[in-house]
Amino acid sequence: MPAISPNKPYRVGRSRTGLGLFATKPIRKGTKIIRYFGPMLDCKKEKDDAIENKYLFQITNRWTIDGSVRENIARYINHACRPNAESDVKKKKRRVYIRAIKDIAPGDEINYDYGTDYFKEYLKPIGCKCDSCEKKRKKLRAEAREEKKRAKARAEKRAVKAASGKKLNGHKALGVSRKSKTIAKGRKVAKRSR
């Protein structure tokens, strides 16, 4: 891992999705945090266009930054659907800075939205693991458990109701009432005694 100057407001650390970039000092909204850099790739050249990795940052239709170099600390910033930073692209200078869009407290993970194309290609197949998506999944799982409990309780209630209904109406279920059965029994007894 590349060395980070102690006066920088971030550090690389373990996050839910692997390694991430975390604030070590308060970062105010609007502050440029770090520059995303690496070799420039010209998409019009076959050699450059053939390069594939997760750290490509497209600036324009022609120019892309290959951020896979180890010195690029910004590559450790993870995706979030509700980020606390965003990419600030300077197309003419071919530079990308990551800028805070919220106040970031020490210990918070720095993250930004990678965009729709990256999300569809890399994150959607495995499921987004950002905090807001994890909270949504947790809420949906809790709601599903509650619904399952309610359905089970309804089924048990119906079963109890059906069982108690059979005890009370057991003779009706056979198509014979209690009164007619006792009358029929009495007749049989009367016929036998003769």
pLDDT class for 126, splitting at 50, 70, 90?
Answer: confident
Average pLDDT over residues 11-38: 93
pTM over 0.85: no
Tokens 């070590």 correspond to what residue?
24
**Cα separation values, 36 from 4, 54, 87, 95, Å:** 15, 13, 9, 7
Alpha carbon distance 4, 33 (integer Å): 13
Q: Is the pLDDT score of 101 beyond 50?
A: yes
- In terms of domains, do 59 and 40 share one? yes
Question: Of 93, 54, 48, 60, nearest to 77 (Cα)?
Answer: 54
CATH number, domain containing residue 71: 2.170.270.10
Full residue range of the structural domain in which residue 53 is found:
10-127
Average pLDDT over residues 183-190: 51
Q: Is the pLDDT score of 194 beyond 50?
A: no
| Contact status, residue 141 vs residue 147, Cβ threshold 8 Å | no
Question: Of 154, 184, 158, nearest to 171 (Cα)?
Answer: 184
Model pLDDT for residues 60-99, shown as the tens digit of each residue: 999 999 999 999 999 999 999 899 999 999 999 999 999 9
- In terms of domains, do 15 and 89 share one? yes
- The total number of structural domains that make up the chain: 2
Domain boundary among 127, 153, 183: 127
- In terms of domains, do 113 and 27 share one? yes
DSSP code for 76:
G
Alpha carbon distance 37, 75 (integer Å): 9
